[in-house]
Structure 1
């Protein structure tokens, strides 16, 4: 009986590619062309920020020049995609295009990208949105990613561990220094959730890492609140030459 119902639903609502809308083999997936146009990050990466690096791994920790010159306030960082082509379109659709269903597929990619940095008992926390932006968008895309990732990885999620209590200007086009200045004191720990960070390993989840200024602000708040190791995981990473 249930199989017949599923078959009927599939005939009425056949699975479609989340990237372009064409028919595909399964729900919450990409068709062949969209898959080929999506830049997944693999191979050698900077272990602090997740940017792809040339060469091969020699078994030692590898960091890019930027992270060596200005160490991050977190320990490990990874990203699933390069922020270009189809990946950029998917991120923008999730963020601004009212496509929350994309978070379910993206969480699978995040789970694969982050498998080396997951720790037992790790607490997942999304980068927060100011209430005014949340009201306009109706959802925090980073919180959706964290919630679906928690299910994929079997890790606890605290969607409001951090708060953005001051609205900040758009960071696009600003330098790393300008971004840091804009974000200063903009993010705080939720007063009723602060105890959850004591001695915990925290994984910060966001949609895109550019300079890392927002994630750095969040990481510093977590450390000041008594957290142990901080790691970051983003859906996409802006490459240096992008």
Structure 2
């Protein structure tokens, strides 16, 4: 993933999990990926800036439209953290990109909070030929 980092990236932000999911799982895989990328690239990772404000159901058995509904409004950035992303090129880091619903919701939140540009890096991409 390091070779795919945009050369003008300013900040790495992992897709957050809800605290209940972290407690159950014990880690956020996107956060681990972002931390490893930060260590190798020298670009800062900001793991607590983007937060998941509510628990969302597992998306694995939903179609694209249902996924978008499930994550709509599920992310936020606290007012005191907005200067950290204002005018910056943020790289959103995720483990698996399936329908894009989660990343789209995160991108919307980041852009509304002042990010100049948002790029997405993910570890894996699910290819689904089924229509939404």
TM-score greater than 0.5 by the shorter chain: yes
Runs of 4+ deviating beyond 2 Å = none
SS in 2 for 1:120: coil
Name the residue aligned to 1:228. Answer: 116
Contact persistence 1:119–1:201 (CA under 8 A): no
Q: Answer with 1 or 2: which has the greater Rg.
A: 1
Q: Identify the match of residue 2 of structure 2 among 111, 124, 139.
A: 111
Matched, 1:192 2:71: no
Q: Which has the higher contact order (CA 8 A, sep 6+)?
A: 2
Count of aligned positions: 130
RMSD: 1.4
Contact persistence 1:123–1:202 (CA under 8 A): yes
Contact persistence 1:189–1:225 (CA under 8 A): yes
Moved more, 191-200 or 211-220: 191-200
Name the residue aligned to 1:145. Answer: 33
Normalized against structure 1, the TM-score is what? 0.51
1:20-39 mapped onto 2 (5 Å cutoff): none
Normalized against structure 2, the TM-score is what? 0.92
Q: Name structure 2 gaps, 5 residues minimum.
A: none
Q: Identify the match of residue 176 of structure 1 among 64, 68, 72.
A: 64
Matched, 1:125 2:16: no
- The separation in 2 between residues aligned to 1:240 and 1:231, in whole angstroms, is 22
1:159-170 mapped onto 2 (5 Å cutoff): 159-170=47-58
- The separation in 2 between residues aligned to 1:149 and 1:137, in whole angstroms, is 21
- The separation in 2 between residues aligned to 1:222 and 1:161, in whole angstroms, is 10
Contact persistence 1:122–1:202 (CA under 8 A): yes
Deviations 1:178-236 (A, max 9, x none): 11101111111133311111100000000000001100000000000011011000000
Contact persistence 1:123–1:156 (CA under 8 A): yes
Of Structure 1 and Structure 2, the greater strand share is in: 2
